[in-house]
Amino acid sequence: MPTQPTRWSRRRARRALRRALPRFDVRLRSSRPGIAFTARIRVTVLSDPPYPGNSEELAGAIRDTLRDAANDIAKQCDPTDLTTATDRYRRHLAGPRSLATSPPVEFRADLDLTLRPDDEAAVATLLAAQRRQTVADVLRRQKTDALAAELADPAAVLAWWLDRHETDWSQFPETERRQDIANAFARYRPEHEHTTEHQLLELLREFLATFAEPSQKRMLYALLAAGMRGVDRPQQAAKAQDLLNGHAPPAEPAEPAEPAGRTRDPETPK
């Protein structure tokens, strides 16, 4: 008949496993190739003795399990944000785990995350390169936006062409070609304007451009002003009315008045 473990034997087993499981260091991959974390892991055994097998074998199995568990989330952790990476690893390892032994041995872990000096230098180099690229991207977008806004008018296209071709009139672009270029730039929209509202505005602009006659434009602006008044938007309606007034037909020139006391000469009979 097997003897029951005494309180002293259980205490010895617990101490032996604790001695076999000191804090241990492990290298963990990160989301950045070539840069790794250095983790110092602390283990807390939750199960009471007796334990299956000897303490060294159990300690090795627990360390292997924790290494695999930590590497499961390696690609989610960015070494440029060490605080967030530490929080994620701690949450991931804080839950109870168990070895597939009989009886099972349950444990959990905590860790401290650091970077070795060479990894810190790699992170600093990476961040510096990202800042340079960000500045270059911002400057390029600003230049593109400014050029597109400037060349949205055919006259600006002509001025730009003359400035760069030193008035080489032999290759002077035709009016239609200048208009095509200006229309292409007018359709350009910066990245922050790629929204549904801006797409709707672009659609309305294209729709209005299909009506070339002044009388057609007057009709559209009149309808627009009436619609705005109908939904109680008087300020916008007034602006639409100003657009309508800008497309009013030119006034007919008045006939000069006859000088006072002077009568028209009668027609000479044929």
What average pLDDT score do residues 223-236 get?
86
Q: Are 88 and 80 in contact (CB under 8 A)?
A: no
User: In sequence order, what are the residues at sequence separation of 6 or more whose Cβ sits closer than 8 angstroms to the Cβ of residue 50?
Assistant: 5, 9, 10, 13
pLDDT in tens, 11-53: 888 888 888 888 889 999 899 999 999 999 999 988 888 888 7
What is the greatest pairwise CA distance in the chain? Answer: 154
Is 133 inside any structural domain? no
Which among 85, 72, 92, 84 has a CA at the least distance from the CA of 37? 85
Give the pTM. Answer: 0.53
- CB-based contacts of 243, cutoff 8 Å, min separation 6: 221, 224
Whether 84 is covered by a domain: the verdict is yes
Residue 53 lies in a domain: yes
Per-residue pLDDT at 270: 44
Please check whether residue 229 lies inside any domain of the structure.
no
Tell me the residue range of the domain where 32 lies: 7-115
Over residues 225-243, the mean pLDDT reads: 84
Q: Report residue 121's pLDDT band, with 50, 70 and 90 as the boundaries.
A: very high
Q: How many domains in the chain?
A: 1
**To which residue do tokens 């451009």 refer?**
209
**Any domain includes 42:** yes
pLDDT > 70: percent of the chain: 70
The pLDDT of residue 202 is above 80: no
In a domain, 161, yes or no: no
pLDDT band with cut points at 50, 70 and 90 for residue 87: very high
Is 235 inside any structural domain? no
Q: Taking a C-beta distance cutoff of 8 angstroms, is the pair 96, 44 a contact? A: no
Task: Give CA separation, 193 vs 188, 198, 202, 205, in Å.
Answer: 10, 6, 11, 15
Residue 22 lies in a domain: yes
pLDDT at 144: 78
